Amino acid sequence: MTTTAARRSTTVTAPPFGGGHGTHPGTVVEPHLDPNLSTRPDIRPSSRRLGPGRRRRFAGLVGPAALILLWVAASATGLLDPRILSEPWTVVSTAGELIADGRLQENLAISAQRAGLGLFFGIVVGAVLAVLSGLSRVGESLIDGPVQIKRAIPGLALIPLLILWFGIDETMKVLTITLGVFVPIYLQTHAGLRGIDLRYVELAQTVGLSRAGFIRRVVLPGALPGFFLGLRFAVTGAWVSLVVVEQINSTSGIGYMMELARTYGQTNIIVLGLAVYGVLGLLSDAAVRLLERKALSWQRTLAG
Amino acid sequence: MATNTGGLGTPPSYEVSVRGLIRSFGPKGVLNGVDLDIAPGEFVALLGPSGCGKSTLLRALAGLDRDVRGSGVVKVPEQVSVVFQDSRLLPWDSVLGNVTLGLRDHDADARGRRALAEVGLAGREKAWPHELSGGEQQRVALARSLVREPRLLLADEPFGALDALTRLKMHALLKELVAAHQPAVLLVTHDVDEAITLADRVIVLQDGRVALERVAGAGVDHYSLRGELLAALGVHAAA
Ligand SMILES: Nc1ncnc2c1ncn2[C@@H]1O[C@H](COP(=O)(O)OP(=O)(O)OP(=O)(O)O)[C@@H](O)[C@H]1O
Ligand SMILES: [Mg+2]
């Protein structure tokens, strides 16, 4: 009945659908005649937002910080028996002592080296196998079956065999981690690769991409989201494998330090070890996510 | 412009030459012996009811139908470019990267930039495809197809997803680009007016064969041609 412009300019004085005040059907009201219009706040009908909203910095730290606060409060009020879980300040001072005599850094370096090497080899093996089996039928029939079988065997069940073959030295530990890491990398990268839209393959044909160009420009970037999903599983898996190999038979590393503390009943060192694992896990996951966001900036997703 | 309705006198050297093209999916024949010639630089529009095999014919010319059963002779030039209905830009590549995809010469980037300027997208080289509007994406697809200086441009409803206004602008742009680069063009479309305004010749595909073939362009009565084409497509509305 009234034009949009007319309705907007009368909103201030009249209810939106009231009509009748000052405007007649068909009257054209200049939108800028209303002096209120320019100073009016931006009133928009609030549309419901289904996405999670803008990303905020350090938002990921809120949850862990709350947990630590709870721990401090429970210990300070005596609700938490120090024999069950050491007080946070004891753990901090323990950390200070262990750093002072160098044991913490030493064990941490060893652990990080094992996890890093295992992760590296696992990523390389998983990604190469995924590309080989994703791009050729021969590769798939040779590779996919064995990997699926490996997936069905819990990684840690292989440890006895690995100890028999390689003894209990570093090779066995890194290999255990590698075996745990390459499976999720392979699975997710392979799925990502197979999920590449056939239309892009057609496009590659029509623009005359070479085989190598096709892999570099279409296959690898197209499989990248899957690869990163696999990487996050892999990093978690690497820490799990690390804990196990270091606690079963080892003479160094964070896991060994904790295992030793258990025999002496040193809860504070055990809790310190847990905290170190937690921090390492958190840091590595954040690193992967950062990498992912950089590498996949072309994607439009809820993650933002 | 080449005007050719086939057959008479000494045969000119055609850019595209199709003889007895047969294609079928399963037991059902889709193309039942299509004959088609396109002269160098000629603009041919292909009309036909939905599902009659227009895309199948185009894919045969583009060499994208290796898994389809069929026979026939297809002669196409070395340099063929395809524009799809979806712009089909790689989402993980920049606009410029998409345009130069598959180019192997060292001045590929410079040529890509020129092609983007030609379609009015200078300055957007670094954008991601999802940052462009649908019409802009389709212009990038045009730039990508023309940067390789094709002898034959195949386009399957390239403007089908665009709004009417953008579509008109794209018509003008396509005309300009085709005049500048002089490829032979086979344009699949549902839009009779689009076919008449753009093409030198319009053909209608029906029951797997070329059912009607008319010269369009300057000097042709648009109104009666439009009526005739619509009638061939089974639309008997008084326009
Ligand atoms: N890959 C395929 N597998 C099986 N049948 C197919 C395939 N592609 C096309 N067809 C069939 O072939 C026939 C022709 O398809 P085509 O895509 O060429 O039609 P079209 O003329 O392009 O239609 P439209 O105008 O709707 O795009 C259709 O009946 C379709 O169902
Ligand atoms: Mg089609």
Is there a contact between A207 and B101 if contact means CB atoms under 8 Å apart? yes
Taking chain A, what is the end-to-end CA distance rounded to the nearest angstrom?
42
Q: Is the CB of B53 under 6 A from ligand 1?
A: yes
Q: Is the CB of B25 under 6 A from ligand 1?
A: yes
Strands of the sheet with B184-188, listed across from one edge = B80-83, B152-156, B184-188, B43-47, B201-206, B209-215
Q: Is B81 exposed, middle or buried, given 0-12, 13-18 or 19+ CB atoms closer than 10 A?
A: buried
Is there a contact between B101 and A221 if contact means CB atoms under 8 Å apart? no
* pLDDT reported for residue A167: 87
Q: How many CB atoms lie within 10 A of CB B135?
A: 18
DSSP SS3 for A155: helix
> Is-above-0.80 flag for pTM?
no
Q: How far is the CA of A36 from the centre of ligand 2 (A)?
A: 54
CA distance A51 to chain B (A): 18
Set of chain B residues whose Cβ sits within 8 Å of the Cβ of A208: 102
CA distances from residue B83 to A278, B60, B159 in whole angstroms, order as listed: 52, 14, 10
Higher pLDDT, B237 or A97: A97
* pLDDT reported for residue A253: 92
Q: Is the CB of B50 under 6 A from ligand 1?
A: yes
Is there a contact between A299 and B91 if contact means CB atoms under 8 Å apart? yes
Amino acid at B148: R
Rounded to an integer, what is the distance from CA B151 to the centroid of its chain? Answer: 12
8 A C-beta contact, residue A194 and residue A131: no
Residue A72 and residue A65: Cα distance in Å, rounded? 11
Rounded to an integer, what is the distance from CA B238 to the centroid of its chain? Answer: 29
Residue B66 and residue A93: Cα distance in Å, rounded? 71
Please tell me what DSSP assigns to residue A51: S
Residue B145 and residue B82: Cα distance in Å, rounded? 6
8 A C-beta contact, residue B5 and residue B215: yes
Is there a contact between A208 and B102 if contact means CB atoms under 8 Å apart? yes
Please tell me what DSSP assigns to residue A59: G
Is the pLDDT reported for residue B1 higher than 50?
no
Is there a contact between A204 and B62 if contact means CB atoms under 8 Å apart? no
Is the pLDDT reported for residue A92 higher than 50?
yes
Amino acid at A262: R
With helix as H, strand as E and coil as C, how does chain B read? Answer: CCCCCCCCCCCCCCCEEEEEEEEEECCEEEEEEEEEEECCCCEEEEECCCCCCHHHHHHHHHCCCCCCEEEEEEECCCCEEEECCCCCCCCCCCHHHHHCCCCCCCCHHHHHHHHHHHCCCCCCCCCCHHHCCHHHHHHHHHHHHHCCCCCEEEEECCCCCCCHHHHHHHHHHHHHHHHHHCCEEEEECCCHHHHHHHCCEEEEEECCEEEEEEECCCCCCHHHHHHHHHHHCCCCCCC
- For ligand 1, atom 3, the nearest C-alpha belongs to B25
Residue B212 and residue B234: Cα distance in Å, rounded? 13
Q: How far is the CA of B56 from the centre of ligand 1 (A)?
A: 6
- For ligand 1, atom 8, the nearest C-alpha belongs to B56
Tens of pLDDT, residue by residue over B206-234, are 999 999 999 987 788 888 899 889 988 88
Q: CB within 8 A of B70, min separation 6: which ones?
A: B21, B22, B23, B24, B31, B60
Q: Is the ipTM of this complex over 0.90?
A: no
Residue-range domain boundaries for chain B:
27-79+150-239, 88-149
Q: How far is the CA of B183 from the centre of ligand 2 (A)?
A: 22
Task: Tell which CATH classification among 2.60.120.620, 2.40.40.20, 3.20.20.70, 1.10.3720.10 matches the domain A86-294.
Answer: 1.10.3720.10
Architecture of domain B27-79+150-239: 3-Layer(aba) Sandwich (3.40)
Of A44, A47, A49, A42, which Cα lies nearest the Cα of A304?
Answer: A49
Q: How far is the CA of A162 from the centre of ligand 2 (A)?
A: 58
8 A C-beta contact, residue B209 and residue B32: yes
Please tell me what DSSP assigns to residue A21: S
Q: Of the given ranges (B8-17, B31-40, B62-71), which has the lowest mean pLDDT?
A: B8-17
Task: Give me the CATH topology for the region B88-149.
Answer: ABC transporter ATPase like fold (1.20.1580)
Residue-range domain boundaries for chain A:
86-294
Among B52, B64, B206, which residue has the most ligand 1 atoms within 8 Å of its CB, making it the best to mutate?
B52
- For ligand 1, atom 9, the nearest C-alpha belongs to B56
**What average pLDDT does the structure give for chain A?**
84
Is the pLDDT reported for residue B61 higher than 80?
yes
CA distance B81 to chain A (A): 7
Is there a contact between B93 and A205 if contact means CB atoms under 8 Å apart? no
Residue B168 and residue A138: Cα distance in Å, rounded? 50
Set of chain B residues whose Cβ sits within 8 Å of the Cβ of A224: 92
Q: pLDDT confidence of A302, banded at 50, 70, 90? A: low
Q: pLDDT confidence of A20, banded at 50, 70, 90? A: very low
Q: How far is the CA of B25 from the centre of ligand 1 (A)?
A: 9
* pLDDT reported for residue A23: 45
Task: Quickly tell me which residue has 């659908």 as its tokens.
Answer: A17
